[in-house]
Homo-oligomer: A and B are copies of this chain.
Amino acid sequence: MSQLPTPVSLRVKPGPGRLAVTGIGNALLDVIVRDHDNLHARLGLTKGAMNLVDLNRAHEIYDGMGPTVQVSGGSVANTIAGVASLGGTSAFLGKVGADEFGDVFAHDLRSLGVELGLARSTQSDIQTGRCHVFVTDDAQRTMATYLGAANQFQPDDVDTSLIERSEIVYIEGYLFDLPPAKEAIRRIVEVAHDCDTLVALSLSDSFCVERHHQDFLKLVSDDVDVLLSNEGEIRALFGTSSLESAFAAVDELGVLTVVTCGPAGAQVGSVSGVVSVPAADVEVVVDQNGAGDLFAAGFLFALALGADPVEATELGSMCAGEIITHLGARPEANLEEMAMEFGLL
């Protein structure tokens, strides 16, 4: 099994001016509805998946939704909010529109102390992206995403100094859907390699992995140090029918890999082979949205502090356990206090 690539600092918070984790991803506002009677299906959306939609379709979907709740979202942005809530220094790179939703998105990260490398679109007709989230009674979420300004994230929007100051840079797989963002990823990876910043990647969504299979495979083979995924995503990546074969494939590539398996917990590669860590004990699951994102927050922050992969998985599970107890994918509890209570920080 692969060894954990050694982070710059060990068991020590990043020094002055250093950042534990910098994330790059889609800047989105979540527009959430409780879906008691399969509204998502009537609107033609694939359950459990992230469905990409254009502006017309986004309007059609929104018009079909009941009253909604608006909360900042975006997969990697949720992770970064989680790192900040754990007491970690962090930054986020992305792009919003020059509108109120963009103000809300920026406010919600800034107010947690996250440093922002947030580009704003100069086109007045390009709005901040939004993700329409349908939360069904089984706590599953179905998403219809209009990318808006996030669609325009490009190499020039990358503040490389944030990458240089980071222990870990965390890249959202969804960015592969956007050609200019793919170039931006290339630039980020180059900077990260030059300054020994670890490169972590989220596979984001199995449909997304299928859409960009070769690109993902090349990035994982050549540039990725840490891989985060769920079972469907990693099997889609390696075309394997079992999780075991997928772990064998990443082991060969020397990539530290953690796979979340919902209520069954998570599996992580470690010096003693693949280790299973149980999910947090949660009384009532309200909304699974953000479970993977917040798992990533705990996992990556712990790695940045020099924890071993199993310890990191434990912190990830705790964070995932908090987010599924309420609507929305941004933490409501102070995760740092929670982790201290559990003896995980």
Contact = CB atoms under 8 A, between A and B. Distances in A.
A67 interface: yes
Oligomer: number of copies: 2
Given A100-B99, A101-B100, A68 B107 contact: yes
Nearest to A97: B100
Contacts of A112: 66-67
A81 interface: yes
A138 to B, nearest CB: 17
Contacts of A1: none
A332 interface: yes
Contacts of A128: 100
Interface stretch (A12-20, A69-77, A167-175, A258-266): A69-77
Contact of A104 (B68, B81, B111, B332): B68
Contacts of A330: 67
A232 interface: no
Nearest to A66: B111
Nearest to A33: B111
Contacts of A111: 63, 65-67
Interface centre among A66, A72, A104, A332 (most CB of B within 10 A): A104
A34 interface: yes
Contacts of A71: 69-70
B328 A108 contact: no
Given A65-B111, A108-B68, A332 B100 contact: no
A216 interface: no
Interface in A87-117: 99-101, 104, 107-108, 111-112
Interface residues of A, number: 25
Interface centre among A69, A107, A330 (most CB of B within 10 A): A69
A127 interface: yes
A62 interface: yes
A111 B104 CA distance: 23
Given A34-B332, A99-B100, A100-B100, A70 B69 contact: yes
A78 to B, nearest CB: 11
A108 B72 contact: no
6 contacts: A63-B111, A65-B107, A67-B81, A69-B328, A99-B99, A100-B101
Given A65-B111, A100-B100, A100-B127, 18 more contacts: A65-B107, A66-B112, A67-B72, A67-B81, A67-B107, A67-B112, A67-B330, A68-B107, A68-B108, A69-B69, A69-B70, A69-B328, A70-B71, A70-B104, A99-B99, A99-B100, A100-B101, A100-B128
